[in-house]
Amino acid sequence: MDIQSRTVRSSTFLVTAIGSFCAEAVIGSLRRVPQSRIVGVSTLPREWSATSRMLDVFHRVPPAREVPAYIVRILEICQLEQVSHVLPLIDIEVDAFTQYREAFAERGIVLCMAPAQTVRIARDKLQVYETFRDHPRVHPIPTWALEDPAVQDLPLPLHAKPRDGRSSEGLARILDADDLSYLRKKLRGRPYVIQPLLDGDVCVVDIVRRRDTGQTAAMARQELVRTSNGAGVTVRMLNEPALIDAAAEIAATLDLNGCINIEFLVGGDWPLVMDINPRFSGGVVFSHLSGYDMVTNHLRCFGDAAIDPAFVPPPLIHARRYVETTFTMAADHGAPSLLAS
């Protein structure tokens, strides 16, 4: 049975943050669902995002940090466009939807995202550490709350990070005692954690799990070139059972349903868990290029179809390519039209 006949039919999908790194790959997969419509939203104007050309409908929304206003607007759009499924693409939106799950369930709208408890643990670096610190096969990076007295005696250098940080935002290096003293004063009362500053290769695992059967599939890659906010742009696909097994253990422990990504630091005796991101990775397209469609299989976790079995990807190097796209404003209704790409 082919991909199309095994996934959701006659659906209207709402995709958030259409300017995000993974949006094109997500929308491209949804385009293969028969009899479907794709509604995209962004805080920015439509013509500011090349990905908007892939949509059937576009709506502008308030920032997700303005949670009540954001959710109200999304619900209005869902009613107007008869949306059946919502796919959040960035952390701050996942946080917002997690708070309002019942509002969508009451309207029969499927939130295609990780369960609430999975999100709560994954989005809190200290909770990740405490959840897995004694796990026999999963090894998180040691983590302390900034205000923990033990921090004073930790060997330098160190990293300070927001507990719910994303995309490398708010990171600070602590190279000496003066740095530590300054940051503890500056960040007093703010939810920060401290971790050792370690060397190693950053590796990412995209993993999808169907909760009712426990079936999982994962693709691992080493990030050779990353942007300043931690998005991989050149990667090498890996055959590393230690990474895949650790990701599967994490998914099972968190009772995952759907697709998330897990970042590891590799260079010591075993992979160390850096971050668990309860959403598609910015580089989910690399899994697709290697032959496994994470988005399609993510959707199956919210329906009644089995996910595709896992396989080992060929050891290829993939590099992200950027293409210029130009919009002009149509004279009639001010809608953007594509001039060139």
Domain residue ranges in the chain: 4-113, 119-125+199-319, 142-196
Query: Structure pTM?
Result: 0.90
- Is the pLDDT assigned to residue 4 strictly greater than 70? no
Q: Which CATH number fits domain 142-196: 3.90.1200.10, 3.40.50.2000, 3.30.1490.20, 3.30.70.270?
A: 3.30.1490.20
- The model's confidence at residue 334, banded by pLDDT at 50, 70 and 90, is very low
Q: Dihedral through CA 263, CA 273, CA 202, CA 323, nearest 10? A: 10
Q: What is the pLDDT of residue 170?
A: 85
d(CA 320, CA 288): 13
Q: How far apart are CA 193 and CA 173, in angstroms?
A: 12
Residue 167 confidence (pLDDT): 67
Residues 6+ apart with CB under 8 A from 328: 336, 337, 339
Please report which confidence band the pLDDT of residue 194 belongs to, taking 50, 70 and 90 as the band edges.
very high
Give residues with Cβ within 8 angstroms of 227, minimum separation 6: 233
Architecture (CATH level 2) of domain 119-125+199-319: 2-Layer Sandwich (3.30)
Average pLDDT over residues 12-24: 96
Rounded to an integer, what distance in angstroms lies between the CA atom of residue 190 and that of residue 5?
Answer: 49
CATH of 4-113, one of 3.90.1300.10, 3.40.50.300, 3.90.180.10, 3.40.50.20: 3.40.50.20
**Single-letter residue type at 167:** S
Residue-averaged pLDDT of the chain: 91
The mean pLDDT value for 296-320 works out to 95
